[in-house]
Structure 1
Amino acid sequence: MAEIIDFHTHFLPRLYAQALKKHIPGDPDGWPTPGWDEHLTLTFMKKNHIGYSILSLSSPHFNFGDKEETIAIARDANDTGERVTQDHPDQLGYFASLPLPYAQESVSEIDVALAHSALGFTVPTNSRGLYFGTPIFDPVYAKLNQEKAIVLMHPNRPAQGPMNVNIDMPIPLMGFFIDTTMTFMNLLRYHFFDRYPDIKLIVPHAGAFLSILADRDAAFVKQQYNSDMFAALRHVYFDVAGTVFPRQLPMLLTLADEQHLVFGSDIPYTPPLLASQMIKLFNEREYHDKMSRRVSRLQRFDGFFNHFKKLRPLPTVLKMSSNMLTGAEILSPEMAQDILVNNGKRLLELS
């Protein structure tokens, strides 16, 4: 496996896509459902020097209250994952889905998936209000620990949110971060990392709000849960999917093990063009310099843009671009190579 390894990239198997249309009117989570086939992923990989991508389901989680449907969607997703792995063994792999909250059926699916080429598993932060880390799923955690499994946690819509505020904001913009952070705290509460130390858990989106809250919450966690939040943050893995510059990734680097950071593009939910720009921030100093000069030139025309309604957002976009480039400068070439390639190889035990 050469080049970048993408740990957070999505696919939409047939039954899953059909279930979204059946159960959710409009855009799930307030975010359009993209089209997908493996050629979209492979084309993106070729353009961006990605050697290997590991496919998994995104949100919403597929438990809509019907047990048999939940089991069928998980099985179809894993069958699809196996098929694309067989068709493109040197380029694509998959993290298997589990029919949570059905614990025994999920344990059985772990055995089936591992026998059919799964590289690990993806789990939702919550399934209809039952959160990952809750003791009701202990048989699942025990099996994953026994298998020393890689487990990619993916955010879901929070089980319950505040009413009458931000009702027009898509869930991925803030709700995902809330649910990821609450789930991590739930794991601490139930001593997940002490009881199941061999699960290699990947926390998505550079840890959501965790790097902001760690100093505020660590003392409470130690006193009330008898858990070490800082040790847990160094124990887990993080993917860097999303807009992690200029602030989020530098903050995370003060808490995480640098060798536990892996790359994620989040396509097709993140548009491929935007995901391509994020990759360039990691590994092309020439791109940084070129974009910095371009942004500086365009920022001279801020007053001009303000005279035209359609152009008014452009100064804000330019400021964001400038900030992203500044944040990316914290990465040495060696650290960028570790995040994009080497850490993933070690996690997959390829080196």
Structure 2
Amino acid sequence: MSSGLVDVHAHLLPDFYVQQATAAGHAHPDGMGGWPSWSVTAHLDLMDRNGIETAMLSISSPGVHFGDDKTARLLARRVNEYAAELTRDHPGRFGNFVSLPLPDVDGTLEEIPWAFDELGADGVALMTHTHGMYLGDERLDPVFAELDRRRAVVFLHPTSPVCWERSSLGRPRPMVEYVFDTARTVTDLVMAGTLTRHPNMRVIVPHCGGTIPVLADRINEFMKLLLPLQQPPTTDAVQQLRGLYYDMAGTAFPRQVPALLKLVDPDRVLFGSDYCWTPAPLADAHIAAIDAAESPVDGTTWRSLTTVNATRLFPGRRP
């Protein structure tokens, strides 16, 4: 019997997207050896094998904007319509975090109503930056104002940082650079006041928050030093970080989740597989480690706890 798990960090990879990204110069995305294989059948097999009821699909890095606004708008629309079709064809099994053609703000403000009102999107997926525009950039405020108005779920996903040519030291960027770029853009959102200006968004931070749990107090201290006279005062950085959601994708145990729980309450933790970018055997092993770990809440398992947390975010997808 299904546990009802809701996977908030799951990726689709249709052939047309891979072809277009490869043609744009991403034959080895983020320094990886190549593109993983993905199919609906293989994804459902992984879900059934691991008791995952619903996977919220999103496009991973490098996103949909390869340098041209018009092309990015068309690709975002095609990807979003494809994912919406999957959710209709497989009721209850898939949800959809739509792609947006950032940094094209005008195109993004056109895609958001289409995605939610016509395609029934469950949320949006935002890269940590697009062409160097990190998420605290004031030019993005109209986008966040609209997402706030819609009380949208905003799923963040890392990409290669702007300095990757030197900082990655020739290694694949998902290994280390992803977790630091996650911390970079979340810190930017906090320092810019974006989260306090738009408190109705529900933001999901991937990979147990990256390095955020161990940097939270440092960020808070610097925020007080740099913004001592702000009026009205911005909410304490740790308080802002405690108000976000965090998925367990990747190596959640034995060290990342314990660190995360020093920052947030258990009701802010969600399940994530990171399939198909995490190969199926490794995703199976990560899920087995979650199942073997003790839940921080008496009378629950990590499966039941994260499912309850997810159904608060997506009440229409209760198992």
Q: Same fold (TM over 0.5)?
A: yes
Match for residue 231 of structure 2? none
Query: What is the number of residues matched between the two proteins?
Result: 307
Letter in 1 for 2:286: M
Match of 1:235 in 2: 243
Q: 1:107 to 1:339 in 2, by over 3 A?
A: farther
Amino acid at match of 2:8: F
* Partner deviation per Cα, 1:26-63 (whole Å, 9 max, x = no partner): 41111131111211111111100111111000011221
**The structure with more radius of gyration:** 1
- Structure 1, residues 120-171: CA drift from partner, whole Å, max 9, x if none? 10011100001112110111101000000001000011012472x6432100
Give the structure with the higher percent helix: 1
Superposed, which structure 2 residues align to 1:92-241 within 5 Å?
A: 92-114=94-116, 115-161=118-164, 163=166, 166-225=168-227, 226-241=234-249
Gaps of 5+ in 2: 228-233
Work out which structure has the larger RCO, using CA pairs closer than 8 Å and 6 or more positions apart in sequence. 2
User: Structure 2 length normalisation: TM-score?
Assistant: 0.91
What is the Cα deviation at residue 330 of structure 1?
6.2
Of 63, 83, 86, 1:84 maps to: 86
Give the secondary-structure state (helix, strand or coil) at the position aligned to 1:173: coil
Give the deviation of 1:172 after TM superposition. 0.2
Shift >6 Å, 4+ stretches? none
1:256 equivalent among 250, 259, 264: 264
CA distance in 2, matches of 1:176, 1:339: 26
Is the contact between residue 64 and residue 70 of structure 1 (CA under 8 Å) also seen in structure 2?
yes
Q: Percent identity?
A: 35
Deviations 1:282-322 (A, max 9, x none): 224xxxxxxxxxxxxxxxxxxxxxxxxxxxxxxxxxxxxxx
Deviations 1:63-111 (A, max 9, x none): 1111111111100110111110110012111111111011121111110
CA contact 2:267–2:306 (8 Å) conserved in 1: no
d(CA) in 1 for partners of 2:168 and 2:135?
26
Question: Structure 1 CA distance, aligned partners of 2:78 and 2:26?
Answer: 22
1:283 to 256, 279, 291: 291
